[in-house]
Structure 1
Amino acid sequence: MVVIPCYNELNLIDSLKSLFNCASTKENIEVITVINSSDNEDVKIINRNKNALDSALDWVGNHQRKNIHFSFIEATNLPKKEAGVGFARKIGMDESYNQFLEIGRKDGVIVCFDADATCSKNYLVEIENHFKKHTKTTGCSIYFEHPIEGNEYPQAIYEGIIQYELHLRYYKEALAFVGLPYAFHTVGSSMAVRASVYQKQGGMNKRKAGEDFYFLQKVIPLGNFSEINLTTVFPSPRISERVPFGTGRAMQQWINNKQKELLTYNFTSFLDLKVFFDKSEQFFTEDDVELPESIQLFLHEINFNENLIKIRANSTNKNHFKSLLFKWFNAFKTLKYLHFSRADFYENESILIASNKLATKIGVAPKNEAKSMLIAFRNIQQSRKMSHE
C-alpha cells in the first residue's frame, strides 16, 4: 500500500505517473491518494482539490496495468484544528491497515509518499525485496534526493534546498557520529512501516507538521528499523506555507529573508553529546562521571538522577542498562538538548562550517561549497546498502 496525502496540488499526476512507471512487483500494489481539506477551506483550494481529483481519475482511466491499482479518498470538511498532512496520512494509512487486515496480511507494508514527489523506477521493487529479505524489520527510511539543479525552479530555490538538505544529512550523520541508536532520516515522503507495527504503535498522529518524526520515534526504538538506499525518492523543493515547519516552510523563509547561508546546530554541541554517550555505561555503577558543562546542566534540568535510579533498578547488566538509558534519552531528548545548548552555550553556525567539522571527524575531505559537501554526504549514506538490522 502506498499512501499519498494531497492538498492544494497542481501536479498530482506526475506523482502517480512516477509510481505507474515503476518496474512491476510480484505482489499487487494499491496506491491510495487522500484528497483532503478542512471544514472552512478557501474555495480556491476546494476547486483545486476537485480539479486534481478529476484529472487523476481521467488519467487512471487511461492507465491500467497488472499489479498496480489507484484509488482515492475524499476527506473533506475535516475539523480545522486537525486538518493537515498528519490527519491525511492517518486516513490513508488506517485504510491500508484495514485492507491488509481483511486479507489476513498483517505483515503487509504501508509506504508513505507525497503528491509532489517522484521516485526511481526500481522504487516499488526495492521496497518489496527489502521487506521480504529482512523479515524482522519493523519499518525503514528510504533514500531521498531533492533536485539541486535545473530549470524547473528559480536558482534561489536550488541554492536553498542544497543547504536545507545538507542540514538534514549533517544532523543525521552527526547523530550517528555521537552514537545515538536512533540516527535515521524522518522524511514523510520517504518511509515505510509494517501494518502490524503501525497498528501496535497507535497509528499515525494528526500533527500538521512533523508527523513523520513523531510517528517514527514510536517505531525506531522497537529495534530492527532499517534503511533502503538502493532506490531514490525525489521530494519537491518548492516553497509552501501549508505547514509550520519542514521543507516547504524552510524554502519559504529562505526566499522571504533573501538568505545566503543556512544556520544549523553548532558542532560543539554534538561533541559534548558524544562525551556523554561514550561514557554512558559508567552510569551503571557510578554517580560522579565527568561531563561537559552543557550536558551536566541539561541532565539536571531533565531530572537525570531520579530517572537514573529507575533505569538502574530495571537493568540486568551494562548492555541492558545502556539500552534502557537510550530509550529514555531518545531522539526527543537529544533534540531538546540541542535547543538547550544553542540557547545557553553554542550559537548556531553556518551549515557549511558545521558539516566540514563533522566531515573531518568521519574521514570525509573538507569542501569549499555546500553543494560539494551535500554530494559527499549523499554518497556516505547511499554507500550503506543495508544497515541497522
Structure 2
Amino acid sequence: MDFQKTFNKYSSKIAIKLGKPNKIPNKSVYQNFIIIPCYNEYDYIFKTLDSINQQELKLLNQTLVVIVINNSNIESQNIVKNNKRTYEFLLKKKYKYEFVAIDCFSKKYSINHKKAGVGYARKIGLDYSLRYIKNKFSLLCSLDADTIIDKDYLYIVNKTMSTNANVCVVNFQHQKSGDPIIEKAIRKYEKQIKHIAKKIDSAGSPYGYVSMGSTIICNVFSYVACGGMSTKKATEDFYFLQSLAKFTEVKKIKNKLVFPSSRSEQRVYLGTGYRIKEFQALGDFKNLFFSEESFQLLKHMLNILEKSYNKSFDLVLNAIDKKARFFLESKNLQKIWPQINLNAKDRYQFKLFIHQWFDALMIMQFLKKIN
C-alpha cells in the first residue's frame, strides 16, 4: 500500500474537519495522540486527565491529548451547560502534557443531531490528530472521558507497538462501584465479554478480542488504511476494530491498563451502561451467553473453511455440521465461493479472504443462531 497516497486521499476526502480547537498546538509533530470524546463529563474527565499526567515525562513530551467536547444541535441546555463548564474549567488547567480542546458543543460548532454520537466525536478527534503526526507509525490512542489509565499505559503501549504491531487492544478492569448490585453486574458482564473473546480467539478467528472504545490503539498507517473511525451512534468501536482486524493483526496486551467507569448511566444501545441497566431490571443479561457447543461448531467450521482452498463448495458442506451448513447457505457463501477461490493467489490469501468474509459481526450472528 502506498501510504502517502492513501493518507492524502483520506485527509482530503474522508477526514472530518469540524469544531473549533482552543489553540494551535505548540509543536508541529507528535508521536502519541490520546483522543477523548467528552459529552456531559464534568464530574469524570478531570480524573481521567490526572491519570494521563502520571505517565512517564519523556513520553508525555511526545504526546498531544485531543479532547472533543461535543453535543448535538438539539441537545438539552443541561448538557450544553455541563459541556461549557467543562471547557471553561479545562482551559484553566495545566498538565505535564499538551492538550487541545475542540469545541463541538457551542451553538456555532455543535454537531448535527443526525450525526452526533460518540463515534462521530471520536472521529473528529482522530482526524484532527492527523494534521500533527510525526510519521505513519504515530499512535492514535482512543480513550473515554470517564476512564482512568495505569501510570505505565503509554510506556507499555509504545513498547508493544514498536514490535511491528499496527493495532492493539489493552486489558481492562471496570472501576469498583459502591452499589452492590451494579458491582455484581459489572463483574459478571466483564467476565462474560472476556470469556466470549477468548472462545472466539480459541476458535481460530482473528476477531477474538473485546470491542471497547477506551482500549483501542492503532497507528496512523492502519487507521487510514481501514477508512478511519466508524461514525455509528452506537457499537462504533465494534465496527472500527472489525475494519482494523480485516487489515492487520490485533495484538492483545494482557496488562490491565485502562479502568472504565462502572456507572449505570445508559449512553448508547448495547454499551456498558445499557447492560448494567438490563441487569438491574432483569437480574441477568440477554443474548450474552452462548453454549460450549456453539463455540465448538464455530471452531470446527472455521477449520474446515480455512483448509478448503480450491475445493468444491458441496465438499465443504459435507464436511461440516448440519447447523453450520444451514447458516453458511443462509449467508449465500455458495454464490461467492468460486470468486473467493479465483481471487486467492495461494492458501494463505484464501485464509485471509475467509476471515474477511466471516467477520466479527457474522461470528456473533452465528453464535446467536446456533445457540
Give TM-score, length-normalised by structure 2.
Answer: 0.84
User: What SS is found at the alignment partner of 2:91?
Assistant: helix
Alignment of 1:131-280 (within 5 A): 131-132=161-162, 134=163, 136-147=164-175, 149=176, 152-255=177-280, 257-260=281-284, 263-280=288-305
- Give the CA RMSD over aligned residues: 1.8
Alignment of 1:314-353 (within 5 A): 314-341=343-370, 346=371
Alignment of 1:1-389 (within 5 A): 1-9=33-41, 10-26=43-59, 27-58=61-92, 60=93, 63-65=94-96, 68-76=97-105, 77-100=110-133, 104-132=134-162, 134=163, 136-147=164-175, 149=176, 152-255=177-280, 257-260=281-284, 263-284=288-309, 285-286=311-312, 287-288=314-315, 289-341=318-370, 346=371
Instruction: Measure how far apart 1:315 and its partner are.
Output: 2.6
Deviates more, 1:316-325 or 1:108-117: 316-325
Distance 1:273 1:64 in 2: 48
Question: Retained in 2: the 8 A contact 1:24–1:125?
Answer: no
Question: Retained in 1: the 8 A contact 2:225–2:247?
Answer: no
User: What SS is found at the alignment partner of 1:38?
Assistant: coil
Deviations 1:31-62 (A, max 9, x none): 1111000000001111111122222223x2xx
Q: Which runs of 5+ in 2 are unaligned?
A: 1-32
User: What SS is found at the alignment partner of 1:110?
Assistant: strand
Distance 2:324 2:301 in 1: 7
AA matched with 1:178: A
Instruction: Measure how far apart 1:231 and its partner are.
Output: 4.8
Distance 1:126 1:75 in 2: 32
Distance 1:78 1:299 in 2: 41
Instruction: Measure how far apart 1:156 and its partner are.
Output: 0.5
Question: Retained in 1: the 8 A contact 2:34–2:140?
Answer: yes
Identity %: 28
Deviates more, 1:84-93 or 1:221-230: 221-230
Give TM-score, length-normalised by structure 1.
Answer: 0.80
Match of 1:381 in 2: none
Deviates more, 1:80-89 or 1:224-233: 224-233
Distance 1:282 1:38 in 2: 49
Distance 1:154 1:193 in 2: 35
AA matched with 2:95: Q
Distance 1:23 1:249 in 2: 35
Instruction: Measure how far apart 1:96 and its partner are.
Output: 0.8
Residues 266/25 of structure 1: CA separation in 2 closer, same or farther (3 Å cut): farther
Which 4+ stretches in 1 moved above 4 angstroms? 260-263
Distance 2:204 2:301 in 1: 10
Distance 1:299 1:327 in 2: 15
Distance 2:274 2:285 in 1: 16
Residues 297/7 of structure 1: CA separation in 2 closer, same or farther (3 Å cut): same
Number of aligned positions between the proteins: 328
Question: Retained in 2: the 8 A contact 1:93–1:110?
Answer: yes
Distance 2:349 2:231 in 1: 33
Deviates more, 1:286-295 or 1:106-115: 286-295
Deviates more, 1:105-114 or 1:178-187: 178-187
User: What SS is found at the alignment partner of 2:319?
Assistant: coil
Q: Which runs of 5+ in 1 are unaligned?
A: 347-389
Deviations 1:220-258 (A, max 9, x none): 122243122235100111112221121111112222x14
Question: Retained in 2: the 8 A contact 1:84–1:207?
Answer: yes
Instruction: Measure how far apart 1:198 and its partner are.
Output: 1.3
